[in-house]
Amino acid sequence: MVRSRVEAIRFEDEKPMISEVLCTGCGICVKKCPFKAISIVNLPDELEGECSHRFGPNAFKLFRLPTPSPGVVLGLLGKNGTGKTTALKVLSGELKPNLGEYVNPPAWDEIIEHYRGSTLQAYFQGIAEGSLKVAHKPQYVDKIPRVVEGEVGEILEKIDERGRLKKISKHLQLDVVWERRLNVLSGGELQRVAIAAALCRDADVYLFDEPSSYLDVEQRIRAAKAIRSLKDDGKTVIVAEHDLAVLDYLSDQVCVFYGEPGVYGIVSHVHGVRVGINIYLDGYIPDENVRFRREPILFHVKPPTPELMAGEPLIVWEEMEKTYEGFKLTVTGGEVRRGQVIGILGPNGIGKTTFVKLLAGIEKPDAGEPPIESNGLEVSYKPQYISTDFEGTVEELLRAVSKEYFTSSWYRSQIIRPLNVESLLDRNVGELSGGELQRVAVAACLSRKADIYLLDEPSAYLDVEERLSTAKTIRRVVEEHGSAAFVVEHDIITQDFTADRLMIFTGKPGVHGRANEPTNLREGMNLFLKEMGITFRRDPKTKRPRVNKEGSRLDKHQKATGQYYYIE
């Protein structure tokens, strides 16, 4: 019997709902909805028996769960909105899995029976009885000061159940914030405190949701080492992470999350860390015979733009200095050419944002000439911390900055679609999530016709695919306009994907910094990684950079030969 479109729509609490029983999947409502708010997806019948949680009618559905194992670090990898945070909340006990029955949620006995014969049976038995203790580091650490007050030292001393606070605080470099209150800490400082708080708990299971956010490269590796040390005590550790290098360094095994963001997510079976990450980049899961992405993500082996292919010099700057109370930045002279993307790498608090503000004309140097102002060049700047003061929709914002370009096919195909902004055009800017706001901010920056694009941490809150798509978009815009870009970025793999040349910042964070002149990708990475004491190799299949385990044969060999980046 054919059902009409009207019969397939019902109202609950005065809200229209699509009946999943009556809906034929014709797609008319999807095409008619002016806000792109409806997604209709046909899923295999066999998946229905594997639903672990659903939030309500026409709401997000998660299929399967990661399988935790003692003494193993399990990494979760997937796009934003495919259920990683939901899975961690279920495994932490914060969210009781309803197995898809959101109207009459099952009791613990039914949940345990559902997972009988698997590792999750004993796991949920422990959660239900309260015998399994879980420590959970949440995703959004900036919200912690709203619920916890006090000085860092006092808070951590109260929860030091393992008696290892002194060692953990030294390793995570918390001495400088020990007597500060939580509400005055930066994002990176809050992240390290949150990681330390989780590590100090005496738990059976440790869950970390995006532990590398806000951290520089050295801090990311330090945090990864601290988290990985839990496996030595036989603890169960699960980490959701978007930085591929950190995930690779940290994990023993990986579960890939795939599906339609905000609609449904499926958890893959467990794979070894190298195989799991390569499966994600390839977009195909062999053991399940599932392709979840049309094209694989590929990496270049050599710097993407040879020096000879770069255009004429766009700006040349002399040595500059900028001094604040307790901090001094010295900038070595250098130049940037048309068509080049200059990556900026260095620790937090070393002066990277200050240098970008000097280029943008927001700050004035105490010594030396402002390089862009003196050349009369147009600048487009995306700051590190994005303001939501704009009152209006995303489309109104982008129309205001892009002007006549907004209606062009080039603008739609090269900026709107790659940055996945199309579905956000009717949304108010003030209502966007962190990742959505980041994509819109990058789009707004690249929408302006400029000679120099300055982007400060454009990958924050973005998943792997969004980061690499953003990197490609930056490169396309720079090449199309014959302009140049400076990109501050802590994700080594994203920087490797984006930059032609690198500016390495050295010195003592919070005291003094030096911005070295731009150098080629290999020399810059070697200088930076030598400072960090880290070596990278290339994966033979995907060519992605991989962190060598400290003290491994390859790590020792590369350090001995001075090839910290990778060996050809």
Rounded distance, CA 164 to CA 455, Å? Answer: 39
**pLDDT digits 0-9 by tens, 389-431:** 788 899 999 999 998 888 899 999 999 999 999 988 988 988 8
User: What are the structure tokens assigned to 334, written together?
Assistant: 């250098």
Helices (H) then strands (E): counts for the chain: 19, 26
**pLDDT digits 0-9 by tens, 252-261:** 999 999 999 8
Grade residue 3 by pLDDT with cuts at 50, 70 and 90: very low
**pLDDT digits 0-9 by tens, 229-252:** 999 999 999 999 999 989 999 999
Q: What is the mean pLDDT of residues 272-286?
A: 94
Say what the pLDDT of residue 308 is. Answer: 43
Indicate the range of 66-70, 127-131, 208-212, 389-393 predicted with least confidence: 389-393
Q: What percent of the chain has pLDDT over 70?
A: 89
Please choose, from the candidates 352, 354, 357, the residue with its C-alpha nearest in 3D space to the C-alpha of residue 373.
357
Segments of 308-463 assigned E as strands: 313-317, 320-324, 327-331, 334-337, 341-345, 379-382, 452-456
Say what the pLDDT of residue 4 is. Answer: 40
Q: What is the mean pLDDT of residues 206-215?
A: 93
CA atoms 353, 355, 361, 364: torsion sign: positive
Cα 329 to Cα 163, 362, 511, 520, distances in angstroms: 39, 15, 9, 22
- Of residues 228 and 33, the one with the higher pLDDT is 228
Instruction: Delineate the domains of the chain, giving CATH numbers in brackets.
Output: 1-40 (no CATH), 134-202 (no CATH), 322-520 (3.40.50.300), 533-568 (no CATH)
Say what the pLDDT of residue 538 is. Answer: 87
Q: What is the mean pLDDT of residues 379-384?
A: 90
Q: What percent of the chain has pLDDT over 90?
A: 53
Indicate the range of 8-17, 77-86, 517-526 predicted with least confidence: 8-17
Residue 568 has pLDDT above 60, yes or no: no
Say what the pLDDT of residue 1 is. Answer: 33
Say what the pLDDT of residue 210 is. Answer: 92
Query: 469: which DSSP letter?
Result: H
Could you tell me the pTM of the whole model? 0.85
Cα 505 to Cα 180, 283, 343, 357, distances in angstroms: 27, 36, 11, 15
Torsion of CA 385, 391, 394, 397, to 10 degrees: -80
Most confident of 40-54, 154-168, 375-389, 549-563: 154-168
Strand (E) or helix (H) holding 520: strand 519-520
Strand (E) or helix (H) holding 475: helix 464-481
- 498 HSE (CA, 13 A, CB side): 32
Rounded distance, CA 521 to CA 305, Å? Answer: 10
Say what the pLDDT of residue 304 is. Answer: 46
Say what the pLDDT of residue 441 is. Answer: 95
Q: What is the mean pLDDT of residues 161-178?
A: 92
Q: What is the mean pLDDT of residues 145-173?
A: 92
Query: What is Dmax (Cα atoms) for the chain?
Result: 80
Say what the pLDDT of residue 2 is. Answer: 37
Residue 14 has pLDDT above 60, yes or no: no
Segments of 192-326 assigned E as strands: 205-209, 236-240, 253-260, 264-267, 271-272, 284-285, 290-291, 313-317, 320-324
Residue 103 has pLDDT above 50, yes or no: yes
Rounded to the nearest integer, the mean pLDDT of the chain is: 87
Instruction: Look at residue 546 and give its three-state secondary structure.
Output: strand
Instruction: Look at residue 537 and give its three-state secondary structure.
Output: strand
Query: 337: which DSSP letter?
Result: E
Contact 518, 359 (CB under 8 A): no
Say what the pLDDT of residue 323 is. Answer: 92
Say what the pLDDT of residue 240 is. Answer: 96
Residue 40 has pLDDT above 80, yes or no: no
- Of residues 494 and 66, the one with the higher pLDDT is 66
